[in-house]
Structure 1
Amino acid sequence: MAGSVIIDELTGRKFTLDEPDQLGANEEVTFLLNLHGGGSVGPWQHEYFPAYDYMDELRLVIATPSAATKEPSRRWVAEADDEHLRNVVDWVFARYGAGRIRAFWLVGHSQGGMTSNRLLEQDYFKDRVDGWLSLSGGRIGAIELPDSFFDRPGAPIRRP
C-alpha cells in the first residue's frame, strides 16, 4: 500500500505519509517516525514495518523518510539528516496540532534504531517523544554474557 509522498519544503526532500481515513476534526492520533536501517531506503522500511496496515484501526500517522547519505551505503548521518527529521516532525505536528497527537514514537530498524536512540539525546526530540521502538538494532547498554558462554572449548577469553 502506498502512502502520500510529501515534500519537505525547507530541504526539498521527500517522505511517505500514511494517515487514517475519515479522521474526525478533533480525533487524536499516534505519530510514528519510521526510520530505515543502513543500506536501505524509506520505501523498503515502509514495507518492512507495515504499520500502515493498522493506521485506521489504531489511528496511526506514519512518516517514513529516507537518509540523504548514499556512499558508501545509505545511512543516517546527523549533519545530513537531523534538520530534515525535525522538519518532518514539525510538518506532522502542524498538520494535526500538538493537542491531537496522543503519542509520538520513534521507530527504527537496525541503524534507524540507533539513529532513533541518538535523536533521543537532543532536546528537540527529548521534549516530544513518548516512546522508542527498535526493530533489530539500537541496543541500550552492553550485553551481559553468562559464565557458561566462556566455559566451553574454543570460547573467547573473558576480559574485564
Structure 2
Amino acid sequence: MDIEPGELTVGQLSQRSGVAISALHFYERQGLVLSRRTSGNQRRYKRDTLRRVALIRIAQRVGIPLSEVAAILKLLPENRTPTRADWERISECWQAELDRRILHLEQLRDDFKDCIGCGCLSLDRCALANPLDTLAATGPGPRRLTTPTGTPSHPNRCA
C-alpha cells in the first residue's frame, strides 16, 4: 500500500479530522496542506497534517480568510514536524488580530441595540449618544463600532 509509519491516507485524514476528502483536496490545491504521492499516485499525509487541518477549520469558523491561514501556515517548517514552540510562535502572530475581533464582537453584542453612530438618528437613544450626528465629523458609517479605542493599526505582526 506504499504507506510510511506515521502517514495517513486521504480517507484516514478525512475520518480523523472530520473534513470531507474534497475539502482536503481543496486545501492541498490552496497550499494549506501537503501530501506526497505514492508510486500509485495516491496521497499520503504526515500525521501533523491533522493539526494543520484543525487550525484551518477553527480559523474558518471564526471568519479568518484562507489567505491569512495560508500565510500563517507558511511560517511552520515543512521539513519536520512542528514543535510546541513553532505552534506558540504562530499563535502569537494572531493574538492582536484575535483581540481585535473579540473587541468588535463585544461591541456588536453590547452596543448594536443602542446608537452605533451610523447617522440615521432614528432611535430615541441616538439623540443622547450622538446628538445632531456629531460622529459624522469623524467619518462615514457606524463610527462607534468601526473605530474602537485602542485598536492596533496593523493587527497581524507576522504576515
TM-score by length of 2: 0.28
Of the two, which has the highest radius of gyration? 2
Question: Higher strand proportion, which one?
Answer: 1
Given the two structures, how large is their TM-score scaled by the length of structure 1?
0.27
